[in-house]
Amino acid sequence: MTYKKTSTYVARPVDEHGNADYSPEENQIWQDLITRQIPIVQGRACDEYIRGIDLLDLPHDRIPQCPEVSSVLRDTTGWALEPVPALIPFDHFFSLLASRKFPAATFIRRREELDYLQEPDIFHEVFGHCPMLTNKACADFTHTYGKLGLKASHADQVMLAKLYWFTIEFGLIKTGTGLRAYGGGILSSKSETVYCLESPIPQRKPFDVMDVLRTPYRIDIIQPIYFVIDSFDVLFSLTEMDLIGMIHQARELGMYEPAYTK
């Protein structure tokens, strides 16, 4: 996703093989992030995510390289990681997804931003999103979403970003063992993984496309609203809907009042 317009981070350049050179401190930050997050997602992430983590077999002592993650994704769903700068425009983002390439900015957050970062770093992309890209329903939805966004106007791309936010980034799912998280924005966050499921504060609403499209959101706060799907078949069904038509309808109906204070 594209987030704020400027970044204080610079992505690491990659060599001809797609590998970046990370410092010992950067590798240590990865180790600190992954070793504390693995126990937190247990019992809170959906089974599909946990299976994805097992398949990826991510290293704990260093930042994984995009080619090694891509090799697993290609074997499971035909996806690959694509190294990108810190921030990319909507058109580039949708173009990559339409080609089954998931953008991964090759930088990792600074230690002073260990707990929260407004823009997606390599930990967010790899640990948060790549496990679910091993799941066919999520992988196919993300691919179709990319193709749709590539053809959309900028105004419609902004609305499509909202759909992505409330599913791939911050989605919850009902399971036989209770509510679980599948969104990468949740599962790469120490605090939000617990908060989204266990706090009495946020709203947890049944997933409805029109409600999602009419719901304002902010990227710089812990989320006040989460949408819950009954199964990953819901994501598959989205690929068969006239989403652009629904976006226009949502725009005509108007947006809901924000669930947060501006």
Please report, as a single letter, which amino acid is at residue 39.
P
Secondary structure tally for the chain: helices H, strands E: 12, 6
Is 124 a residue of the active site? yes
For the four alpha carbons of 176, 144, 109 and 218, in that order, the dihedral sign comes to negative
What torsion, rounded to 10 degrees, do the Cα atoms 190, 181, 225, 231 define?
A: 170
CA angle 154, 97, 101 (to 5 degrees): 145
Q: Is residue 129 annotated as involved in ligand binding?
A: yes
Q: What order of strands is seen across the sheet that includes strand 225-229? A: 178-181, 172-175, 225-229, 203-206
Q: Measuring CA to CA, how many Å separate 175 from each of 38, 54, 228, 230?
A: 20, 19, 10, 8
Choose the catalytic residue: 143, 169, 189, 192: 169
Active-site option among 124, 143, 189, 192:
124
| Among 143, 188, 189, 192, the one annotated catalytic | 188
Is 129 considered catalytic here? Answer: yes
Catalytic-role residue among 129, 143, 189, 192 = 129
Annotated ligand binding at 17? The verdict is no
Catalytic positions, written as ranges: 124, 129, 169, 188
Task: Tell me the binding residues for Fe cation.
Answer: 124, 129, 169
